Amino acid sequence: MEQPICTLHGQVVSGKQVGRTLGFPTANLSLLPPHPRLEHGVYGVTLLWNGQTHAGVMNVGRRPTFHDGAPISHEVHLFEWDGDLYGACVYVDVHFYVRPEMAFSDLTQLQKQIERDVNSVKAAFRLSGQKGRTSRAEQEAMIGL
């Protein structure tokens, strides 16, 4: 895998907890400037926090399924994560684009698509059956650096 498309830097803030209710809790980022504008959609990412790198999937966009007029959000779901990142400043390396942001007819369809996205990104990172947490050296090997 090539170098990241870009790196985002931000603070994890509380969101509406929708991802958690679907079984995919997210770290909602309040980005610190300067930050690149990404096309709305889903991305394969790694998040650096506290000396550890964690693989995950990120949605960038306005959450069209919920029709709530929300501002653009950057929401990262980390694989095999059960900690608390609220208030933490993190770096997110954006590695690849998965698909455009889409509106779904119901939460079940959204949940199924998130499962497909997670499986797709895990496969791309060669993480099937592994924990999402890696050291920096393991991450570099994982993405071919």
Q: What is the CATH superfamily name and number for domain 6-142?
A: Riboflavin kinase-like (2.40.30.30)
Q: Are 7 and 67 in contact (CB under 8 A)?
A: no
Q: What is the number of other CB atoms lying within 10 angstroms of the CB of residue 52?
A: 13
Q: Give dist(CA 19, CA 17) in Å, integer.
A: 6
Where are the domains positioned within the chain? 6-142
Mean pLDDT, rounded, for 116-120? 96
Structure tokens at 22: 């679907």
Q: Is the pTM of the predicted complex or chain greater than 0.85?
A: no
Query: Strand pairing of 52-61 and 73-78?
Result: antiparallel
What is the per-residue pLDDT for 85? 93
What is the pLDDT confidence band of residue 56, given thresholds at 50, 70 and 90?
very high
